[in-house]
Every structure is written in C-alpha cells, then in structure tokens.
Structure 1
Amino acid sequence: MTPPPVRRGPEPRPPAVARLGWWWLVIAGFAGGVGWAATDHLLRATVTLGGSCLLGALLRLVLPPRLAGGLITRSRGFDVTLLIVFGAALLIAGFALDLRARV
C-alpha cells in the first residue's frame, strides 16, 4: 500500500467559505456596528449597520452571481430591495432617535 501524496503549498479554502465572496466585507461592517453598540456608541452603530446594508445592496446589484457569493439569497431585485429597506430604516432610526448615552 502506498501512502497518500503529500500536498505542498497553502491549504485550499473549504468550498463553503470560498463561495461567500464579498459577503465578508458586509459582515465586517456588521461586526463593526455591533462593536460600536457594545461600547454605547449607538449613533455610530446604526450608521455603520445601515451603511453595511446599503453596501451589501450595492454589491448585490453590481456583482455577477459568481462573485456575489453569500449575498445571494433570493432574486436580485428582492435582495437589493430588502437590503435598501433595512439600511434606510437603520439610518432613519439612528438619526431620528435620541441615542446619546445617559450617565
């Protein structure tokens, strides 16, 4: 019996991670927004989260399906519309509400 061949070079990414594509950029924005919220910077958090949704909508609109990766859930129109609605709602809430920290 011969041993399996030895691979040289970097390990390939798992297929599920490789398919996510630009989704990671949007998730990084969400993580930043959650970080702002955890430190009581709620206005910055809502702007970051809303901006991430709008960025996701823009990326979903302009990227071809093979590059959009994890941003694809349903049809392009539905994805873009939903992300714009969520992003706008977060931005409106962030600027309309008094989100200053009370000490």
Structure 2
Amino acid sequence: MSYNKDSYYAVFFSNGQVYFGKITSTDSNYTTLEDIYYLQVSNPLQQVPPPGGTQQQQLSLVKLGNELHGPKDFMQVNNAHVIFVEELKSDSKVVEAITAYKSGATNQPAQ
C-alpha cells in the first residue's frame, strides 16, 4: 500500500495507543512515522463529579519529543502491532490542532 506523504494518518496499535503522524516509509515489517502526536487524557484538578455522575476528562494532543526521555520525532513501528491505519481529512479536529500548534497559535497542540 502507498501513503500520501502530505497527509496525516491515525495509526492504531494492539495495546490501545493511537499515534497521529505522517507515514514516510513502509515495508512488510515496519512502518516509519514522523511529525508525530498522540492523545493524553487528564482529569481536571479539584473537580467534584455530581452525585451519580462521572468526572469530566480532558483530551490533549501532545507532540512527540517533549517527554522526559527526549525521543526524536521519528518512530519505526513493527507492523505486527498495528491494527489499522486511517488517513485523516484536512478538516479533522486532529489535523486542525496540529496546524494550530505548528503555526504557533497555541503552546500545546489541543485542549
């Protein structure tokens, strides 16, 4: 399969993790991602859920490379752990958040 080098893709893994990025190469064993982002779930501090309700969770889009261990913005993944891949539309919320982050409109990709 060939991928559009200008498009962003959502890559879903067998462990439940999803990464968003550009697929720069692929072969029968590995797929290479660059310009990578992922979702991070956080619970707002000091928010008390209503009786019988659940606490509201917030999703943030995080740029790969800002973690404590300082990875480069490059990932080679074993295709055996990839469940499926989706090409993202240019008007998707994820692509819009990435575009805003890259243009400097926000300090963090999306909240």
TM-score, normalisation: structure 1: 0.27
Structure with more helix by fraction: 1
Which protein is bigger by CA-based radius of gyration? 1
TM-score by length of 2: 0.26
Larger strand share, 1 or 2: 2
